[in-house]
Amino acid sequence: MAKKETKPTSSDSHRVATSGDIEVSTYLEIAKEMGGEQPVAAREAISGVEPETIIVLDFGSQYSMLIARRVRECQVYCEILPHDAPREKIASLNPKGFILSGGPASVYESGAPLAPSYIYESHLPVLGICYGMQAITKQLGGRVTPGTKHEYGHAVLHLDESDSPLFTNVDPSSPVWMSHSDKIEEMPPGFTALAHTENSPIALMGNKAGIFGLQFHPEVAHTPQGKTFLENFVYRICGCQGNWTMSNFINESIDRIKGQVGKGKVITALSGGVDSAVVATLIHRAVGDQLTCIFVNHGMLRREEVERTFNTFRLNLGMNIIFVDAGERFIRRLKRIIDPEKKRKIIGGEFIRVFEEKAKKIGKVDFLAQGTLYPDVIESASSGSKASAKIKTHHNVGGLPAKMKLNLLEPLRSLFKDEVRQVGLELGIPEEMVWRQPFPGPGLAIRIIGEVTKEKLEILRNADWIVMNEIKKAKLYRQLWQSFAILTDVKSVGVMGDYRTYSYLVAVRAVNSEDAMTADWSRLPYDLLNRISNRIVNEVEGVNRVVYDITSKPPSTIEWE
């Protein structure tokens, strides 16, 4: 039977190694292109606390972000790097251990990615997940072969060994999530099989040097005790203390911002979203009136959003705010533009031009602050690994001109959305702002399929207002990651009264997610969908049909563009 304890402590640690918006988003390299400094990793200088990092080496898994999130939920900082990251980069992060992610390749194929040898030479603990386990096997002298039986979905893990600290608080048998077609035919020398499933005799292996391999995925919700495995690894195997807290993050960030900005001036964009609100509040705490907030109405915000957002920031945050009504300007630039990537880049570029114009009136401005989050970084550009692919550019990342002279401040660059909300609550930001559902920087422009026009914007505003109103009345707003309407470029025949109509099709989207890297469509009650559909068709001129999007991410993205 597995050992039972209640909470990991430093005395439990087992160290085998003794030798050695506007919700603005940016590309990894954008700071260099702009002449600014690359943001310092958030974990580098938590005041008075020795930094500790678990590094996830990414082999192209769709779950790498989830691994990092789960580790951070244990209050241990985690960063994702490409599987072939240089030794110097790894060493600069002062790692306590490594996690090798899953991936789509097979290790016995020619050119299959493997972990750099210095990972094993470091004598630090290593946890391989799925493909990561197979990479460990191949590199340390074992053998991986194609499986005669594939294993996808639910399985039951049975522990064969009870003494490992990796199994503290883990049940002798527990559900796990499998996703593999290869198998460990022969373990490397010195390794022992620690657990099995019906189809995997070696579902978990380990050695006395603190290297473990899991064939299942502990990071997904389908493995109920997966977080316990990860918690045991970071605390009991790697010896982490758990100093990654949002309180520490705030204190360290304020100190770092003061050091970066000095006596300089900062501008930031407000949208009413949590990211921009937290960025503005954090920087205001650090440098006060050296910060000027610019609230740009690009003409693609939702109904009443301009008034509510401006008033909320003015009343609650007490900051210098400049309001810019640039709707006509943006809509002109989007004329005849259909491609969603072009929309994002045009909007991003136009935002920067607005910033620069306003900056000239403010006086000399040195920094542009942005609400870049960790998922933005990963989605906009791969982490550097050939195994990872860019999904899409975030609007004012691709649009940022290389000649812009402002330096970047990105204090949230290392955070997930849930961490940003924690920071917001710690800073005392009103809950209305903290819990606002994510809204894309390009606004309704990327929820209108095809060309953006004033007529389409008005149709979508009215439809989206109804969706939000009904979702809130049903008390589901806080439970959903996002819920909104999309105006498609499809028209269909309908009948209203005795008349034939040929009007637009509106799609409704509602998803559940933890970090937007993956999302599942929400099973909204039929009665709620019926009310939304009836209201849109009856109250929104130009719409005669409503559909509900039941596609998850992947294969789709949350937004349609």
pLDDT in tens, 196-241: 998 889 999 999 999 999 999 999 888 999 999 999 999 999 999 9
Residues 428-457 have pLDDT tens digits of 888 888 888 988 889 999 999 999 999 999
Residues marked active site are found at 130, 217, 219
Looking at residue 401, what is its pLDDT? Answer: 46
Cα–Cα dist 146/106, whole Å:
8
Looking at residue 49, what is its pLDDT? Answer: 55
> What residue ranges define each of the domains in the chain, with the CATH number in brackets?
50-237 (3.40.50.880), 246-434 (3.40.50.620), 448-548 (3.30.300.10)
Dihedral through CA 188, CA 192, CA 195, CA 200, nearest 10?
30
367 vs 42 pLDDT, higher one: 367
Helix (H) or strand (E) holding 510: strand 499-512
Strands 482-496 and 266-270: unpaired
* Inter-residue contact 129 to 217 (CB < 8 Å): yes
Instruction: Give 144's DSSP letter.
Output: E
Contact partners, residue 159, CB within 8 Å, separation at least 6: 2, 167, 170, 172, 173, 194, 195
Closest CA to 213 of 180, 174, 171, 244: 180
**Residue 300 token pair:** 């693609």
Least confident range from 312-321, 390-399, 428-437: namely 390-399
Looking at residue 151, what is its pLDDT? Answer: 62
* Mean pLDDT, residues 397-426: 78
* Mean pLDDT, residues 359-364: 81
Looking at residue 198, what is its pLDDT? Answer: 87
50 vs 314 pLDDT, higher one: 314
Place 380 in a pLDDT band, splitting at 50, 70 and 90. low
Q: Does residue 367 register a pLDDT over 50? A: yes
**Residue 514 token pair:** 């933890």
Looking at residue 361, what is its pLDDT? Answer: 83
Cα–Cα dist 287/364, whole Å:
16
Closest CA to 344 of 243, 413, 433, 441: 441
Closest CA to 126 of 112, 140, 147: 140
* Mean pLDDT, residues 5-31: 33
Q: Does residue 359 register a pLDDT over 60? A: yes
Token pair 């709707």 is at which residue? 327
* Inter-residue contact 196 to 202 (CB < 8 Å): yes
Residues 105-151 have pLDDT tens digits of 999 999 899 999 999 999 999 999 999 999 999 999 999 998 766 66
pTM: 0.73
Cα–Cα dist 395/371, whole Å:
12
**What does pLDDT average to over the chain?**
84
Looking at residue 246, what is its pLDDT? Answer: 94
Place 37 in a pLDDT band, splitting at 50, 70 and 90. very low
HEC string of 468-504 equals HHHHHHCCCCCCCCEEEEEEEEEEEEEEECCEEEEEE
Q: Does residue 313 register a pLDDT over 80? A: no
Residues 326-355 have pLDDT tens digits of 999 999 999 999 999 999 999 988 988 887
Q: Does residue 28 register a pLDDT over 70? A: no
Instruction: Give 63's DSSP letter.
Output: T
Residues 150-170 have pLDDT tens digits of 667 889 999 998 789 999 999
Cα–Cα dist 209/81, whole Å:
23
Q: What residues form DSSP beta bridges with 173?
A: 158
Looking at residue 150, what is its pLDDT? Answer: 64
Residues 245-278 have pLDDT tens digits of 999 999 999 999 999 999 999 988 887 788 988 9
Q: How far apart are the first and last CA of the chain?
A: 51
Residues 65-108 have pLDDT tens digits of 889 999 999 999 999 999 999 999 898 888 999 999 999 899 99
Residues 481-525 have pLDDT tens digits of 999 999 999 999 998 877 889 999 999 999 999 777 789 999 999
* Inter-residue contact 291 to 283 (CB < 8 Å): yes
